[in-house]
Amino acid sequence: MTSLPTHTEKKLGLVIDLDICVGCHACVTACKGWNDQGYGAPLSDQKPYGDEPEGTFLNRVHSFEITPENGPAQIVHFPKSCLHCDDAPCVTVCPTGASYKRSEDGIVLVNEDACIGCGLCAWACPYGAREMDQAAGIMKKCTLCVDRIYNENLPEADREPACVRTCPTGARAFGDLADPTSAVSKSVADRGGFDLMPELGTKPVNQYLFPRIKDFEGDLDVLSPLLDIQPEATGISGWLDKLLGKL
Amino acid sequence: MNPAPSVILFTVLSGAGFGLLGFLGLGVISPTGLIAFSYFTLAFAMAVGGLLASTLHLGNPRNALKAFSQWQTSWLSREAWLAVLTLAVMGLYAIGAIFFGKHLSVLGILGADLSFLTVFATSMIYAQLKTVPRWNQWLTPLLFLSFSLSAATMLTAQNGLAVAPLAVTGVLLILHWLSGDKRFSASGSTIETATGLGGIGKVRLLAPPHTGSNYLMKEMIYVVGRKHALRLRWITLALAVVLPALILLLAPASVLTTALAFILHLIGAFAARWLFFAEAEHVVGLYYGKR
């Protein structure tokens, strides 16, 4: 059903620490790798070796530059995948019931057997979290690796989303955001986790943590003293300069 | 938003077709026999043709029947139901009019209500989307309905009368454009709210996630042709409203006059709908540093 559950027992989701992410795109690759071989239609590529390669990805990393009023600009790498919103607009617009939010853990999924590929859910999502697979004609989105996190055939350590498991810097954390004692909830409380586009009222489950503000000592260019080239050399340098000039 | 031809054909033709069905149901004209046959054929051809065009937009049309299941939450599902109910009710009404010379007004009025509700449901598919501020306003359903009424009045040969809904359509077009131009900034969504990083400073995209394009960018960040938007607005107004109104007012009433005016109006309506999509900006563009 495309009506949203009034309450979900758990709110499984991700906490992404923008202070730690180095923009290596390992999560993008791990996501694509895992979702090519298990759950649902594989994520296809179009002309992967051609002049305009394109493909379906469930997780992408943007890089932004922030320029404060005073001080140096800083770069923030910004991974973005489905935020598994509590008030997910992508779910209610679906005409077939293919798009749904699970009441047990809050994961938003697509039942590919019922999807007609109309694309309306992708229009309704403000975050660009849904992409229509061009080969399958079916809407794809982050499943929070639902086929890993409950998979008892995998070692315990692997029972988390592929993007989290692979992140070399630990910028991504997975957990239950409805449980205030969970590690993810604590980090959100400590660091002031925030929603993306809160003005749209989607109530995302995934939270982002702020990057640290860059230190600023007043002089933007630490190399500038070294660049202070004197027009006329003096002392021994000057003597050498003259000598060499005469040779 | 990508102005896909299938969706433009669908909204324009179905809008006109359901409008005509509505007027036939209301008994604005009450033809019988062959004349009724030609009217209903035209109305059904436009309504059904539009609906068929819309299925070209689907990536996986095999599951199309499932689209009837979620009428409680989804405007697209409601539209599917309303369209089919309208066609069924008006089909019965048409049989009465064509073969028995009888107009069952109960069926007709029910069918007319369903017709206009179908057009309303079509418009709400777009108007409901908070992510596309230009569409997310009450003028959107009004504009769709007034296009539908204009086509219906023209086709039922209400020559003098058709000028009124055409004028209303013209006014609504202008209002929709003008208020639409302000909707994005009024929505409050910026690259700063999209990234949540506005507290630190001014944000700009430094590097996109990939060098190529993707589905999102093709579907929702359509910027081609926007530079011609103003010129196209004038062309739209001229073709959809002014020229048909002048023809209907000045030329002697005949089938040819109506046909000429209606064809010009349809071309204008296609232009209007092209602009409706091409000018609409989706908030996801903020993540790509584009609108």
Q: Pick the last residue of a domain from B128, B143, B177.
A: B128
**Confidence at residue B225, expressed as pLDDT on a 0 to 100 scale:** 67
Q: How many whole angstroms separate alpha carbon A108 and alpha carbon A4?
A: 10
Q: Residue written as tokens 């089909």?
A: B91
Residue A246: which pLDDT band, with cuts at 50, 70 and 90? confident
Q: DSSP of B102-159, one letter per residue? A: ---HHHHHHHHHHHHHHHHHHHHHHHT-TTSTTTSSTHHHHHHHHHHHHHHHHHTT-H
The count of structural domains within chain B is 2
In a domain, B140, yes or no: no
B216 inside 8 A of chain A by CB: yes
Each residue of A127-142: pLDDT tens digit?
999 999 999 999 999 9
**Binary contact (A66, B197; C-beta < 8 A):** yes
CB-CB contact of B169 with B150 (8 Å) = yes
Within-domain flag for B240? yes
Q: Is B122 in the same domain as B167?
A: no
Q: Is B121 contained in some domain?
A: yes
- pLDDT, residue B251, reads 86
C-alpha distances (whole Å) from B285 to each of A16, B105, B280 are: 21, 50, 11
Q: Give exposure, A10-36, as e/b (b: 16+ Cβ within 10 Å).
A: bbbbbbbbbeebebebbbbebbbebbe
Question: How many angstroms away from the CA of A58 is the closest CA of chain B?
Answer: 11
How many CB pairs below 8 A link A and B?
A: 199
Domain covering A12-209 in this structure, CATH number: 3.30.70.20
Return the SS3 of A176. Answer: strand
The answer to which of A17-31, A158-172, A228-242 has the lowest mean pLDDT is A228-242
Residue A45 CA to residue A35 CA, distance in Å, equals 13
Asked if B108 and B181 sit in the same domain, the reply is no
Would B136 be classed as within a structural domain? no
Is residue A230 very low, low, confident or very high in pLDDT (cuts 50, 70, 90)? low
CA distance A148 to chain B (A): 25
Q: Are B70 and A2 in contact (CB < 8 Å)?
A: yes
**C-beta atoms of B200 and A53 within 8 A:** no
In a domain, B35, yes or no: yes
Say if residue B163 is in the same domain as residue B62. Answer: no
Question: Within this chain, do residues B111 and B171 fall inside the same structural domain, yes or no?
Answer: no
> If you count DSSP H runs as helices and E runs as strands, how many of each does chain A have, helices first?
7, 11
Task: Check CB contact of B193 with chain A, cutoff 8 Å.
Answer: yes
Interface test with B, best of A19, A77, A78 (most B CBs within 10 A): A78
What are the residues whose beta carbons fall under 8 Å from the beta carbon of B57, sequence distance 6 or more?
A: A118, A119, B4, B6, B7, B10
d(CA B28, CA B146): 17
| A132 → closest Cβ in B189, B191, B215 | B215
Q: Are residues B34 and B124 in the same domain?
A: yes
Nearest-neighbour CA in chain B from A180: distance (Å): 23
Q: Does B220 touch chain A (CB under 8 A)?
A: yes
Residue whose C-alpha is closest to residue B147's, from B120, B126, B112, B111: B120
Q: What share of chain A is helix, strand, coil (3-state, %, to 5)?
A: 25, 20, 55
Q: Which residues in chain A touch residue B136, judged by CB atoms under 8 angstroms apart? A: none
Same domain for B242 and B168: yes
Whether B147 is in a domain gets the answer no
B70 within 8 A of B23, measured Cβ to Cβ: no
Residue B181 and residue B270 share a domain: yes
Select from A53, A76, A126 the Cβ nearest to the Cβ of B284: A126
CA angle B8, B12, B17 (to 5 degrees): 140
**Percentage of residues in chain B with pLDDT exceeding 90?**
80
Question: Does residue B148 register a pLDDT over 90?
Answer: yes
> Do residue B63 and residue A98 have CB atoms under 8 angstroms apart?
yes
Q: Any idea where the domains of chain A sit in the sequence?
A: 12-209
Q: Quick one: CA torsion of A155, A157, A161, A162, rounded to 10 degrees?
A: -80
pLDDT at A242: 78
pLDDT recorded at residue B55:
86
Render chain B in DSSP notation, one character per residue.
Answer: ----HHHHHHHHHHHHHHHHHHHHHHTSS---HHHHHHHHHHHHHHHHHHHHHHHTT-S-GGGGGGGGTTTTT-HHHHHHHHHHHHHHHHHHHHHHHHHS----HHHHHHHHHHHHHHHHHHHHHHHT-TTSTTTSSTHHHHHHHHHHHHHHHHHTT-HHHHHHHHHHHHHHHHHHHHHHHHHHHHHT--HHHHHT-TTTSEEEEEE-S-SS--HHHHHH---TTGGGHHHHHHHHHIIIIIHHHHHHHHSPPSHHHHHHHHHHHHHHHHHHHHHHHHT---GGGGGGT--
SS3 call for A27: helix
Burial of A224 (0-12, 13-18, 19+ CB in 10 A): exposed
pLDDT interval class at A231 (50, 70, 90): low
Please state which of the ranges A51-65, A97-111, B154-168 shows the lowest mean pLDDT.
B154-168
Contact call for residues A110 and A138 (beta carbons, < 8 A): yes
Q: What is the mean pLDDT of residues B77-106?
A: 95
Percent of chain A with pLDDT over 90: 77
- Is residue B270 within 8 Å of B8, Cβ to Cβ? yes
Task: Report how far residue A32's alpha carbon sits from residue A133's, in angstroms, rounded to the nearest whole number.
Answer: 13
Of A4-8, A195-199, B58-62, give the range with the top mean pLDDT.
Answer: A195-199
Structural domain range at position B189:
158-291
Beta pairing, strands A12-17 & A207-209: parallel
Residues B182, B280: one domain? yes
Question: Of A68, A73, A200, which has the smallest distance from its Cβ to B189's Cβ?
Answer: A200
Tell me the CA distances in angstroms from B195 to A63, A210, B248, one per residue in order.
10, 10, 53
Q: Does B200 fall in a domain?
A: yes
- Subunit contact A96:B69, Cβ cutoff 8 A: yes
- Answer yes or no: is B244 within a domain: yes
Residue that finishes a domain, picked among B108, B128, B148 = B128
* Min Cα separation B134/chain A (Å): 13
Q: What is the pLDDT of residue A228?
A: 63
State chain B's maximal CA–CA distance in angstroms: 75
User: B104-129: per-residue pLDDT in tens?
Assistant: 999 999 999 999 999 999 999 999 99
